[in-house]
Structure 1
Amino acid sequence: MIQAFIFDLDGVITDTAKFHFIAWQKLAQRLGFDIDHEFNEKLKGVGRMDSLNLILQHGGISLTEAEKENEAARKNDEYVELIADMNASDLLPGAREALEAIHAAGLKTGLASASKNAPAILARLGISDLFDTVVDARFVINGKPDPEIFLKGAAQLNLSVTECIGIEDAVAGLQSIKDAGMYAIGIGDPAVLTLADTVIDGLHQFDLKHYI
């Protein structure tokens, strides 16, 4: 019996990918190279430091750990500035309705996000009260595709993984869900999201009765 749905944030609830791309692109340009939208797809669902390492590898750049921390912090500051004006209009179609339907049915919701800014984003979107638990990069050792974040989400909801469904738009996130032992809903292209048990275009297509 399904008791909860655990959502990824970016690309599922809202779309901050454009802001991440701008901030990462600025970082790359400071270091003397560029990244494009095609490369940016590799960063979907990946944590900050892992994303930085992929970008540095792409540019053939080597930095000390201290330099990496400095660049990651600077990138995050620029990203936070970019998302400062987010509001409820930035919710993706169907997101609020899906969350409200789940709560109306007496079920629980969790968030499993690679972003340390997730709580602030939820507040700006006006949906903090629609989540029973939030697990972000501050609370896990291993980022996606490791299953830790979804395992912790289920644990914080006091549920087994078989009682939870994970919802993701990224391959790394779906790997995390499946390795956690959960049923996975993919958001996006079925040809790409082959790990998902079912795929929909977005939460505007989410129909709760199909899963409970």
Structure 2
Amino acid sequence: MKFEDIKGFAFDLDGVIADSARLHSKAWHQTADTVGTTWTPELAENLKGVSRMDSLEMILKAGGHENEYTQAQKEELATAKNTQYLELVKTLTPDDVLPGMKAFLDELKANGYKMSVASASKNAPTILKQLKVMDYFEGIVDPAKLHAGKPDPEIFSLAADVLGLAPANVAGLEDSGAGIQSINAAGELSIGIGSELSEAAVRFDRTDEVSLAAIKAKLA
């Protein structure tokens, strides 16, 4: 994709706009302790960008507990995790927008780019309101309408629909491997934030490196 083709941007939320990923990790760590699964940095990393029930299944499997809980019990565990997470979300402020991202949102708005949010989190609206950045976005993909999670392309395809743009005119920002695969499969330009995202068309190590000029330079 050429830089000139980009008309809109679809943002993942956790780890891209906000450091709410640490809140998820804190809540999931408590769930892991509850079911007796050892919490590791690798497990925390693998849960990035994954839906709530899929994350719970990964935690249970990591500890060999996948056959020990009924579906109803799993749903209780997932609900308890979400309750804990929502309590943590209430502590978010605009200071929790990741470094450089507020400036990037301002730059996109000033230059007439459309923006949407492609997050698996059902709590995205609450988080964006806490961060006071909701008004930047045309809309948020509703996770309840998804048939498959990342790396399936559906969420980023819908994020393009929210913008009223063809995938070929959208750039997606992600900090997870599954998210980058989702963007690529949707036919959009993938912008990865993180040193390990080798499949991203454009990659930055940190959020404060992202700007229109930097994206243009990397595509040149």
Interval of TM-score (by shorter of Structure 1 and Structure 2): over 0.9
> Is the contact between residue 10 and residue 16 of structure 1 (CA under 8 Å) also seen in structure 2?
yes
- What is the rounded CA distance, in whole Å, between the counterparts of 2:60 and 2:177 in structure 1? 21
Tell whether 2:201 aligns with 1:168. no
- Looking at structure 2, the residues matched to 205 and 21 of structure 1 have their Cα atoms a distance apart, in angstroms, of 25
Deviation of residue 135 (structure 1)?
A: 1.1
Match of 2:119 in 1: 113
Q: Aligned partners of 1:77, 1:148: CA distance in 2, in Å? A: 27
Q: Does 1:180 align with 2:186?
A: yes
Structure-1 residue corresponding to 2:109: 103
Moved more, 80-89 or 137-146: 137-146
CA distance in 2, matches of 1:73, 1:141: 20
- C-alpha distance in structure 2 between counterparts of 1:135 and 1:10, whole Å: 14
* SS of 2:84 mapped into structure 1: helix
SS at match of 2:179: helix
**Which residue does 2:210 correspond to in 1?**
206
**Secondary structure of 1:12's match?**
coil
TM-score between both structures, scaled by the size of structure 1: 0.95
The answer to whether the Cα contact below 8 Å between 2:197 and 2:203 also exists between their aligned partners in 1 is yes
Q: For residue 198 of structure 2, give the secondary structure of its aligned residue in structure 1.
A: coil
Tell me by how many angstroms 1:136 deviates.
Answer: 4.1
Moved over 6 A (4+): none
Cα distance per residue 1:142-179 (max 9 Å; x no partner): 11111100000101211100000001010000000000
TM-score by length of 2: 0.91
Contact 1:118–1:136 (Cα < 8 Å) also in 2:
no
**Contact conserved, 1:12 with 1:202, CA < 8 A, in 2?**
no
| CA-CA distance at 1:33 after TM superposition | 2.9
Q: Deviations over 1:50-97 (max 9, x none)?
A: 111111111111222111111101100001111211000001111111
Counterpart residue number, 1:12 = 16
Report how far residue 13 of structure 1 moved: 0.5
Structure 2: tracts of 5 or more residues without a match: none
Residue 128 (str. 1) matches residue 134 (str. 2):
yes
* Root-mean-square deviation over aligned CA pairs: 1.3
User: What residue in structure 2 maps to residue 193 of structure 1?
Assistant: 197
Number of matched pairs: 210
AA partner of residue 134 (structure 1): I
Q: Quick one: percent identity of the two aligned structures?
A: 44
Distance in 1 of aligned mates of 2:117 and 2:138: 8
Q: Matches of 2:206 and 2:125 in 1, distance apart?
A: 22
CA contact (8 A) 1:5 1:108 kept: yes
Partner residue, 2:149: 143
